[in-house]
Amino acid sequence: MSEKEVVLLDFWPSPFGMRLRIALAEKGIDYEYKEEDLWNKSPLLLKSNPVHKKIPVLIHKGKPVCESLIALQYVEEVWPHKSPLLPSDPYARARARFWADYIDKKLYDLGRRTWATKGEEQEAAKKEFLDSLKLLEAELGDKPYFGGDKFGFVDAVLIPYYSWFYTYETCGNFSIEADCPKLIFWAKRCLEKESVKKSLPPQEKVYGFVLELKKRLGLL
């Protein structure tokens, strides 16, 4: 068992894991990072998340918190004073939660379909994926961050997908920047932050991982 109060069960390319890495880094929380092999899940993972058996799992003082958005809010509630990610106004909080929910409902599955499918299905996924990003870009508007002047909840939820953009673009043969230049600008601003820089893997590394995954799944 770990000496540290906080343990994160994670998998390096996971955008869901990345958002927790960012939040913990933002708040200066010391934790133990445990890399899981998703084809050989550890007994700790299976015990900590028996219902879904998925990463990330945040373990705080031995108690597991599953589902990344839930764990993100937990981190925010337990360590509210350092770099708060959610605003204090209830309406602004509701809007942040809404967009975080929207991001999770759309981007992972659509993004996956841009690299895992071909032909018509892939074209449809690309279009829907770009439409979703454009909607997010409109929500960002002229603000430096989704959180306003400061990096916030929605920023932490969305920025991990940026590490997958090269993969989506290369596998899907399209350019995200062409359709969503403001979003790319926002992403690069986020990447200037230490917490984000150290939590996101290089885009090329993710691409290499996906190529291996495609081979494994017989998709090449």
Partner 1 sequence: MAGDAVKLLGAWPSPVVMRARIALNLKSVGYEFVEENLGNKSQLLLQSNPVHKKIPVLIHGDKPVCESLIIVQYIDEVWSSGPGILPSDPYDLATARFWAAYIDDKWFPSLTGIAKAQDDGAKKAAIEQVSEGLALLEDAFRKCSKGKTFFGGDRVGYLDIAFGCFLGWLRVTEKMNGVELISRSKTPQLAQWAERFCADPAVKDVMPETDKLAEFAKVLFAKFKNPPSQ
Q: Which is nearer to partner 1, 84 or 208 (CB)?
A: 84
How far CA 96 is from CA of 37, 87, 161, 187, 197, in Å, comes to 32, 9, 17, 18, 22
* Closer residue to partner 1, CB minimum distance, 94 or 220: 94
Q: Name the residue nearer to partner 1 (CB basis): 46 or 135.
A: 135
**Rounded to the nearest whole angstrom, what is the least distance from the CB of residue 215 to partner 1 in the complex?**
30
Least gap, CB of 9 to partner 1 (angstroms): 15
Cβ 29 vs Cβ 64: under 8 Å: no
Output the smallest distance, CB 134 to partner 1, in A: 12
In whole angstroms, what separates CA 205 from the centre of its chain?
A: 16
Smallest distance from the beta carbon of 56 to partner 1, in angstroms? Answer: 13
Closest CB to partner 1 among residues 49, 163:
49
Strands (E), the chain: 6-10, 32-35, 57-60, 63-66
Least separation in angstroms between residue 97's CB and partner 1 is 5
Dist CA 157 CA 140 (whole Å): 14
Residues whose CB is less than 8 angstroms from the CB of residue 131 and which lie 6 or more positions away in sequence, other chains included: none
Give whichever of 39 and 91 is closer to partner 1, judged by the CB atom: 91
Please provide residue 2's backbone torsions phi and psi, each rounded to the nearest 5 degrees.
-80, 150
| Binding interface with partner 1 (CB under 8 A) | 51, 60, 63, 65-67, 70-71, 73-74, 77-78, 90-91, 93-94, 97-98, 101-102, 135
Q: How far apart are CA 105 and CA 79, in angstroms?
A: 27
